[in-house]
Amino acid sequence: MSMSDPTGSSITTVPPDTEGPALRSPAAASAHRVRAVARRHWLVLKRSPHRFFDVLVWPLVDTLLYGSIGLFAAQAAGDSPSATTAVAVYLLSGTVLWHLVHQTQISLATGFLEETWSRNVLGLLATPMRDWEYLAGVGLFALVRTAASTVAVAALAFAAYAFDVTRLGLGLIPVAALLLASGWAVALLVVGLVLRYGSGAEALVWGALSVVMPLSGVFYPITTLPTVLQPVAQVLPTTHVFAVGRTLASGKPMPWGEFALAAGGTAVLTLLSLLALRRMLRTFRRKGLVTRYS
Amino acid sequence: MLTPPDERPPVLVARDLVKEYARGRAVDGVSLTVRAGERLGLLGPNGAGKTTTLLMSLGAVEPDAGSVEILGHRLPGDRARAMQGVGFVAGYLPLPDRVRVSEYLRLYADLYGLRDPHAAVSEALERFGIGHLAAAIGTQLSSGQRTLVGIAKAALHRPRLMILDEPTASLDPDIALRVRTALLALSAERGTALLVTSHDMTEVERLCGRVVFLHGGRIAADGTPEDVARTFGRDDLEGVFLHLAAERDKDRERERAATA
């Protein structure tokens, strides 16, 4: 059977192909979607040399900066071994551990922004991909990127300042997990705000953690903060995670009470971020905000 | 023997869609059924509600009232399964930067859950005659090539319905013809239904067997291009379009006068 369109192009017709292509099982399809999103962001990173500044160059510069300040402050502290150790532990453990939060948050949030910059949001919404599959894909990419950055930072801290992050022992694993979760939680909140308020909220991708860091006592005890800010610092789960990390880095046993506060606070923060993201995604669909990217 | 159009199963059923934005009501009670293999043009001047209707049909925008079902799956709850049967192309959307055409198609083949994504990508590249573009980065492509890649992407999973928003906007006539021919072949060979918006009325007359005109967010006409033109007492769809655009401008003048 054949037909021609009004332009004269001949089109051969056959009985409609009602059989769809072979599909993966739902679980396998989900896993491949997650991997495909992570791979897509890896390709973008691979072809964007300037982004390696975020992954490697700036973290190494930070390590040099804070490591050298730490060394100077320790030397200025005089002959007191405890003061020397405390300063070094605060600055170097803070530098290495902070990169877990910072890289995770930046990687996940900029991963989503990449879709807005390349106007790919509408294309993604018109596929069977579920919201959680997309977030898991960007989260997986963020995990790999964070691992690469943190290994580089930890290696420099060891080579230049003899700070061995593995001195935290097995306690490093739950501390790292809580910091990754904190980074994800802040990133989800920022992604939600960008969905809701558009490019005006993009500055938060780089700025949100600038507020969290000084309040979390990353490089100093929070008792040095102005009195009025100390209760705010106590509420942040990151404050307690860093307190646990420093305790372990000092060679002391796991402070379980502090750890419970850190874990509970991180769980609450993550849950609130997910709820906020869901609400803002709903608003995004209800208000037709996708047209910003089409 | 072909099944009469009105007996073919529906692939898209939109009922009483309403969408209100801050600037006013964009869609006001639109009901639309697209049947398997049907090629439907959704037309109207700017602001008529075409794109909002398409976005609600994709689940990307939530209607204030009304419902959308695709292949029996109701949005938004069953969106993932519904989208398994839908391909979407927009002539105005670029391809992502820093990703090769083959990688872009592979990404979507995985998002559609295809068991053999490599074979699907190869077939799509061959079908649309763009195999030579496989290694090109999106930004290196011309508008026509980008559109063909977009159609190849949307057809990877053999959707039962393709939604196309301005698929040939700003294309040269020869490239537009190639795109149109590819879409007609897809519809003929696979029974894929096409829901198309376009400002090019000649193109719509060549591509679509049925047209729905929107005016002020409501359906102003529904039928074959010839019937619709006759209903409005015009020679062709362009005449209908110009008539409705003039009506829209008069409506706006009246609104301005009323609020002044």
Rounded to an integer, what is the distance from CA A36 to the centroid of its chain?
19
Residue B4 has what DSSP assignment? Answer: P
**Domain extent for B185:** 8-90+161-259
Q: What is the pLDDT of residues A156-187, one digit of tens each?
A: 999 988 888 888 888 889 999 999 999 999 99
Does the distance separating the beta carbons of B180 and A44 come in below 8 Å? Answer: no
Overall residue count recorded for chain B in this entry: 260
Does the distance separating the beta carbons of A47 and B98 come in below 8 Å? Answer: yes
Say if residue A16's pLDDT is above 60.
Answer: no
CATH number assigned to the domain comprising residue B249:
3.40.50.300
- Report the percent of chain A where pLDDT is more than 90: 57
Residue B195 lies in a domain: yes
Distance CA B181, CA B36 (A): 19
Q: Please tell me the least confidently modeled range out of B117-121, B136-140, B141-145, B251-255.
A: B251-255
Quote the number of domains for chain B.
Answer: 1
Shortest distance, CA B42 to any CA of chain A (angstroms): 18
- Report the percent of chain B where pLDDT is more than 70: 98
Distance CA A125, CA B60 (A): 6
Does the distance separating the beta carbons of A7 and B111 come in below 8 Å? Answer: no
Shortest distance, CA A36 to any CA of chain B (angstroms): 6
Residue B98 lies in a domain: no
Average pLDDT of span B89-99:
85
Which residues 119-148 on chain B approach chain A with CB closer than 8 angstroms?
A: 120, 137
Give the nearest chain B residue to A9 (CA atoms).
B181
Residue B126 lies in a domain: no
Shortest distance, CA B115 to any CA of chain A (angstroms): 5
Residue B133 lies in a domain: no
Distance CA B127, CA B95 (A): 19
* Residue B99 with chain A: CB contacts under 8 Å: 40, 43-44
Distance CA B198, CA B204 (A): 7
> Which of B98, B174, B202 has the highest number of chain A CBs within 10 A, making it the mutation to test binding with A?
B98
In this structure, the number of other CB atoms found within 10 A of the CB of residue B115 comes to 15
- Alpha carbon separation from A139 to A108, A112, A185, A202, A278 (Å, rounded): 6, 10, 11, 18, 17
Residue B20 has what DSSP assignment? Answer: E
Does the distance separating the beta carbons of A125 and B84 come in below 8 Å? Answer: no
Q: Which residue among A3, A14, A44 sits closest to B98, beta carbon to beta carbon? A: A44
Give the nearest chain A residue to B62 (CA atoms).
A286
Q: What is the pLDDT of residues A220-250, one digit of tens each?
A: 889 999 999 999 999 999 999 999 988 898 8
Judged by a CB distance cut-off of 8 A, whether residue A13 touches chain B is yes
* Residue A8 with chain B: CB contacts under 8 Å: none
Residue B141 lies in a domain: no
Q: What is the pLDDT of residues A109-132, one digit of tens each?
A: 998 998 988 888 999 999 999 999
Which string of DSSP letters, residue by residue, matches A162-192? ---GGGGGGGHHHHHHHHHHHHHHHHHHHHH
Does the distance separating the beta carbons of A21 and B184 come in below 8 Å? Answer: no
Q: What is the ipTM of this complex?
A: 0.89
In this structure, the number of other CB atoms found within 10 A of the CB of residue A281 comes to 16
Say if residue A8's pLDDT is above 90.
Answer: no
Average pLDDT, chain B: 91
Distance CA A138, CA B163 (A): 27
Say if residue B216's pLDDT is above 80.
Answer: yes
Helix A237-249, helix A172-197: angle, nearest 10: 150
Helix (H) or strand (E) segment spanning residue A265 = helix A256-286
Give the nearest chain A residue to B23 (CA atoms).
A287
> Which of B50, B111, B137 has the highest number of chain A CBs within 10 A, making it the mutation to test binding with A?
B111
- Residue A254 in tokens: 């796991």
Residue B108 lies in a domain: no
* Residue A44 with chain B: CB contacts under 8 Å: 96-99
Q: Which residue among A47, A127, A285 sits closest to B108, beta carbon to beta carbon? A: A127
- With CA atoms as reference, report the closest residue to B35 among B189, B188, B161, B214: B161
Judged by a CB distance cut-off of 8 A, whether residue A257 touches chain B is no
Judged by a CB distance cut-off of 8 A, whether residue B65 touches chain A is no
DSSP 3-state assignment of A110? helix
In our burial notation (b when 16+ CB lie closer than 10 A, e otherwise), range B55-87 reads bbbbbbbbbeebebbbbebebbeebbebbbbbb
Judged by a CB distance cut-off of 8 A, whether residue A166 touches chain B is no
Which residues 21-60 on chain B approach chain A with CB closer than 8 angstroms?
A: 21, 26, 36-37, 51-52, 55, 58-60
- Report the percent of chain A where pLDDT is more than 70: 90
Residue B103 lies in a domain: no
Judged by a CB distance cut-off of 8 A, whether residue A5 touches chain B is yes
Q: What is the pLDDT of residue B127?
A: 86
Judged by a CB distance cut-off of 8 A, whether residue B66 touches chain A is no
Residue B18 has what DSSP assignment? Answer: E
Strand partners, B30: B17
More confident residue, B249 or A239: A239
Distance CA B217, CA B193 (A): 23
CA quadruple A260, A262, A264, A270: dihedral, nearest 10 = -160
Within 8 A by CB and 6+ apart from B79, the residues are: B59, B73
In this structure, the number of other CB atoms found within 10 A of the CB of residue A101 comes to 28
Does the distance separating the beta carbons of A11 and B98 come in below 8 Å? Answer: no
Q: What is the pLDDT of residues B33-86, one digit of tens each?
A: 999 999 999 999 888 999 999 999 999 999 999 999 999 999 999 999 999 999
Within 8 A by CB and 6+ apart from A226, the residues are: none
Within 8 A by CB and 6+ apart from B63, the residues are: B17, B18, B19, B27, B56
Give the nearest chain B residue to A131 (CA atoms).
B80
Shortest distance, CA A187 to any CA of chain B (angstroms): 22
Q: What is the pLDDT of residue A75?
A: 79
Within 8 A by CB and 6+ apart from A273, the residues are: A184, A185, A186, A188, A189, A192
Residue B125 lies in a domain: no
Q: Which residue among B94, B99, B188 sits closest to A11, beta carbon to beta carbon? A: B188
